[in-house]
Amino acid sequence: MTIFSHLTQFRTSANSLLSEFEPLTLIVAPILSLLIAGFLQSVITTVQENGLKSSLIASFMYLIKLVPGVRSYLDAEKQKVVDKMQSGNKSKRDGWRTELPATGLGSRVIDMMKEEKAKDVAWQGKCSGTVYIGGAESEGHFSLINEACSMFAHTNPLHLDVFQSVVHYEAEVVAMTAALLGSKEKASGGQVCGNMTSGGTESILLAVKSSRDYMRTKKGIKKPEMIVPVSAHSAYDKACQYFNIKLWRVPVNSEFQADVKAIRRYINKNTILIVGSAPGFPHGIIDPIEELGQLATSSGVCFHVDLCLGGFVLPFARKLGYPIPPFDFSVQGVTSISVDVHKYGLAPKGTSTVLYRNHEIRKHQFVAVTEWSGGLYVSPTIAGSRPGGLSAGAWAAMMSLGEEGYLENTRQIMEATKKIQEGIKGIPEVYVVGKPDMTIVAFASNIVDIFEVNDLMSSKGWHLSPLQRPNSLHICVTLQHVSVVDDFLKDLQESVRTVKENPGPINGGLAPIYGAAGRMPDRVMVQELLVNFMDSAY
């Protein structure tokens, strides 16, 4: 029997079977099946991404919000929380200018700015991170970088042929930073390159974008995914939202480090990038960079190391004898690194670098336009025009301090960090989270509400960083803290004792909000709170 005969017989049998159904059923059934299959696929994908519990809660809250009046009630309650988070900032906007003055104020504007600046919070020695330079604003290193920035405030590195000086400064900042991170070592390959950016977030965004496009060229990946530990910076979430990349956040291990085995389980044919931090922002702990590098190499994926905090500390801490594990381009598998110069590099705010192992990867960072009527255009970073004064300020900071200056700074802040860590261990009601490798000390409590402790510390002028999972606080130690370590420990001990003896939120404190946010199962609502807070801040 021929193939044609088989097909004729199959057609006859199929028509005979289908003749028992109504034509409308034959049309509707396949369409309905496709819709059901699509719905089930969506449900399965959502559960895989968010977990069964979170998916059920999100679905429940979605249905609840459909009930008339519920959404408006929830919106009103959210606004109350936002107003409390603003701590009265909203009312201060009443006097903000909304139009240009009819007549310019000339130099008098400087006096107005001085008056406004005087209203800022007293941050000297009291803020976690934030300001990394020691001393007063009007003298020393502050004065030096301010003068350098003002000299080049009118410049723009976009115009390479005009402002050759700031282009020169930028190139040297990148090269000097790369040298700190293994570019001179044989293992790096000798092609490390990079650019200056506006901050750690832009450096991370560019590294992610470059990795995405590089892996698309190398492997043809069109549905990119990346894997980061839950301790990795939130800039990776931003990058994935901007660049349409699927993000997998993986739990850390018992030491609060990236869990290499867990990350390995998430790697698939669409993986473009894995991430490690040196150290992670929450707890100051260095991820196992060597193991992650081996995983990246064996899996054929890119590997980014976030050195935004550690880039200008770890190289010097190692020279001072601290047991710092490998973290830079000397580690095989590392394809990109982000390093903030405006943190421990003591450069003006708005200066960071993104570095790549070679030019082949870095080329995917650039945007080149050939068909614009305005001419040929190419830009290395997200911004087109950029403030050349910041590049000049960064160069001035690095050149003025030199290796000896950074070594001395690192010695001071590492010693201050150790003293704070030991002091916290001496307070029975709190404990240090993990084993900090650098200048961040996170601490939590199983006895008192740590967020109530934070409110009391805030009332004493301290500005610490609240963390979650576990609920905790951290202090990022800078040169501003070197002379006030004893004051910090004294105030912390008093605050802990007060909360233990008189538990309960203080009037005007944010402990109830932090606590409620941590317990709130509907994370979408927490996200909406944050968005509303930001929307009402400006």
Q: How confident is the model at residue 136 (pLDDT cuts 50, 70, 90)?
A: confident
d(CA 217, CA 529): 39
The length of the chain is: 538
| Average pLDDT in the chain | 88
Q: Flag the least confident range among 106-110, 141-145, 516-520.
A: 516-520
Residue 246: per-residue pLDDT: 96
User: What is the mean predicted confidence (pLDDT) over 37-50?
Assistant: 68
pLDDT tens, position by position, 400-419: 999 999 999 999 999 999 99
What are 415's two structure tokens? 């010693």
Strand pairing partners for 521?
Answer: none
The rounded distance, in Å, linking the Cα atoms of 506 and 508 is: 6
Q: In whole angstroms, what is the distance from residue 298 CA to residue 290 CA?
A: 12
The pLDDT of residue 518 is 58
**Which residue from 60, 134, 106, 243 is spatially nearest to 481, judged by alpha carbons?**
134
Band of residue 486 on the pLDDT scale cut at 50, 70, 90: very high
Q: How far apart are CA 488 and CA 494, in angstroms?
A: 10
pLDDT over 80 at 527, yes or no: no
> Tell me, what's the pLDDT at 125?
86
pLDDT confidence bin for 47, thresholds 50/70/90: low
Q: Tell me the per-residue pLDDT of 213-247, one tens digit each, with 9 for 90 and over.
A: 999 999 999 999 999 999 999 999 999 999 999 99
The answer to whether the CB of 441 falls within 8 A of the CB of 477 is: yes
For residue 82, pLDDT beyond 80: no
**How many degrees, rounded to 5, is the angle at CA 299 between CA 293 and CA 304?**
40
Identify the DSSP state of 327.
-
Contact of 302 with 214, CB cutoff 8 Å? yes
User: If you average pLDDT over residues 275-288, what whole number do you get?
Assistant: 97
Residue 318 burial (C-beta neighbours within 10 Å; 0-12, 13-18, 19+): middle
**345 Cβ neighbours under 8 A, 6+ residues apart:** 177, 311, 312, 339, 351, 394, 397, 398
- Alpha-helical runs (H) found in 280-387: 289-299, 314-319, 359-362
User: 409 and 479 in contact (C-beta within 8 Å)?
Assistant: yes
What's the pLDDT at 79? 63
Residue 99 Cα to chain centre, angstroms: 35
- pTM of the prediction? 0.84
CA-to-CA dists, residue 78 to 329, 370, 507, 530, angstroms: 46, 48, 19, 10
Q: What is the average pLDDT across 10-30?
A: 71
> CA-CA distance, 203 to 209, in Å (whole number)?
10
Question: Which strands form 431-432's sheet, in the order they lie side by side?
Answer: 431-432, 440-444, 472-476, 465-467
Q: What residues pair up with 337 in beta bridges, in sequence order?
A: 305, 355
DSSP, residue by residue, 146-164: HHHHHHTTT--TT-TTT-H
Hey, which bits of 127-197 come out as E strands?
193-197
Angle at 390 between CA 387 and CA 393, to 5 degrees: 150
CA 116 to CA 409: how far, in whole Å? 32
The position carrying tokens 């669409």 is: 270
Structural tokens at position 433: 């989270």
Which of 76-85, 422-431, 505-514 is predicted with the least confidence, judged by mean pLDDT?
76-85
